[in-house]
């Protein structure tokens, strides 16, 4: 885990334009498969699914701040879930205080306060950090894909109107279902 301040979320980060071979060298095989090839980890296997510490979730590719931990909730789906992004694997059961980052570029993605247990097998967050996450229609045209705004790494998908509730009983409007391998976490001190 790396440390980072949340001041990074306020900065507009330049995009990362690495070649495919540079990404393969920078990322683990699983991170590359998910961030660059848009694959999905098996539900319930990610490090940040059950992770609820205070902090920020970052892109594992570029360290872009993505989600504040306050937006993370348990959606019982097997992946980390967030209700919104900042500025929008291993983390499925990870609940430390800090920041989750892009595994590829270290962009700050999610604060740990937005993470919740979705019971779906992937880390779930209720919101991302500001403009750190962008949304695009998936190739199938039905799902909303979430990408790191800095390195275009595939993070997962957004789901709406599921009637899920956070730990305080508040209804979650959006669930960012995120692959743990696409994240890094920066613990808050």
In the chain the domains, ranked by start, together with CATH numbers, are: 27-187 (2.170.150.20)
**What is residue 147's predicted lDDT score, i.e. its pLDDT?**
92
- Count CA atoms within 13 Å of residue 84 on its CB side: 8
Q: Is the pLDDT of residue 186 over 90?
A: no
Among residues 188, 113, 120, the alpha carbon closest in space to that of 156 is found at 120
Q: Is the pLDDT of residue 86 over 50?
A: yes
Q: What mean pLDDT is reported for the chain?
A: 79
Distance CA 131, CA 120 (A): 26
Class of residue 162 by CB neighbours under 10 A (exposed 0-12, middle 13-18, buried 19+)? middle
Give catalytic status of residue 177 as yes or no. Answer: yes
Band of residue 92 on the pLDDT scale cut at 50, 70, 90: very low
SS3 22: helix
Instruction: Give me 17's structure tokens.
Output: 């334009």
**What is residue 24's predicted lDDT score, i.e. its pLDDT?**
93
Average pLDDT over residues 158-167: 81
**What is residue 134's predicted lDDT score, i.e. its pLDDT?**
87
Q: Give me the percent of the chain exceeding a pLDDT of 70.
A: 85
Active-site hit among 77, 102, 151, 177:
177
**What is residue 95's predicted lDDT score, i.e. its pLDDT?**
62
Q: Specify whether the CB–CB gap between 72 and 118 falls below 8 A.
A: no
**What is residue 94's predicted lDDT score, i.e. its pLDDT?**
53
Higher pLDDT, 139 or 52: 52
Q: Is the pLDDT of residue 151 over 60?
A: yes
- Give the list of residues 6+ apart from residue 157 with CB closer than 8 angstroms, or none: 138, 143, 144, 145, 146, 176, 177
Average pLDDT over residues 106-132: 77
**What is residue 23's predicted lDDT score, i.e. its pLDDT?**
92
- Count CA atoms within 13 Å of residue 28 on its CB side: 11
């Amino acid at each position: 885990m790396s440390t980072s301040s949340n001041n990074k979320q306020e900065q507009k980060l330049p995009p990362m334009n690495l070649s495919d071979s540079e990404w393969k060298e920078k990322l683990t095989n699983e991170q590359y498969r998910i961030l660059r090839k848009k694959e999905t980890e098996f539900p319930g296997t990610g490090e940040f699914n059950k992770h609820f510490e205070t902090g920020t979730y970052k892109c594992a590719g570029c360290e872009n701040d993505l989600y504040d931990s306050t937006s993370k909730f348990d959606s019982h789906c097997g992946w980390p879930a967030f209700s919104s992004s900042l500025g929008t694997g291993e983390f499925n059961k990870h609940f430390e205080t800090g920041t989750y980052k892009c595994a590829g570029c270290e962009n700050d993605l999610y604060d740990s306060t937005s993470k919740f247990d979705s019971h779906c097998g992937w880390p779930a967050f209720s919101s991302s950090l500001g403009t750190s996450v962008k949304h695009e229609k998936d190739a199938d045209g039905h799902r909303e894909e979430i990408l790191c705004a800095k390195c275009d790494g595939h993070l997962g998908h957004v789901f709406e109107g599921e009637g899920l509730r956070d730990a305080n009983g508040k209804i979650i409007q959006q669930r960012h279902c995120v692959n743990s391998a696409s994240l890094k976490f920066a613990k808050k001190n």
